[in-house]
Amino acid sequence: MRAEDLQALIAYRLQRAAETLEEARLMQNIGHWNTCANRLYYAAFYAVSALLVQGSHAASKHSGVKALFNRHYVKPGTVTKENGRLYNRLFDLRQEGDYIDFVSLDAETVEPLVGATAVFIDMIRSLIADA
């Protein structure tokens, strides 16, 4: 992939992260917690995907993105273990809220993750900018 195309893809994914975080905040405002958790995960996913593209890593599945992120960024210490746990938690909550019957996430579980996800995305954006 040409350098210009690579930069365009990274910028696109970071923009998707920002837009999706805004969607999560809208869902937070109306108390739709399962959807809020879904959008928080996807916001983080788009940011992590941008980071992986920059590092020439690719995965075709969400579990693969999670594994690559943990292997190449969390394990070596580029990203803190706390941020790795946050991403894994968002992944798990999205799975529960989207695929398990009768799961109803609540404000106590999801609301603290809104600010944490915003900070997470900013951290990823900084890693990309510093590379």
pTM over 0.75: yes
Tell me the two tokens of residue 80: 């803190």
Give pLDDT tens digits along the chain (131 positions).
Answer: 788 999 999 999 999 999 999 999 999 999 999 999 999 999 999 999 999 999 999 999 999 999 999 999 999 999 999 999 999 999 999 999 999 999 999 999 999 999 999 999 999 999 999 98
- Count CB atoms within 10 A of the CB of residue 111: 14
Could you tell me the domains of the chain? 3-130 (1.20.120.330)
Tokens of 101: 């019957």
77 sits in the region (left: phi over 0; alpha: psi -120 to 50; else beta) called: left
CA 94 to CA 39: how far, in whole Å?
A: 8
Contacts (Cβ under 8 Å, ≥6 apart) of 38: 94, 97, 98
Q: Which two tokens stand for residue 94?
A: 């999205």
Q: Pinpoint the alpha helices (H) of 1-131.
A: 3-29, 33-54, 62-69, 81-99, 107-130
In terms of phi and psi (left: phi > 0; alpha: psi -120 to 50; beta: otherwise), the region of 102 is left
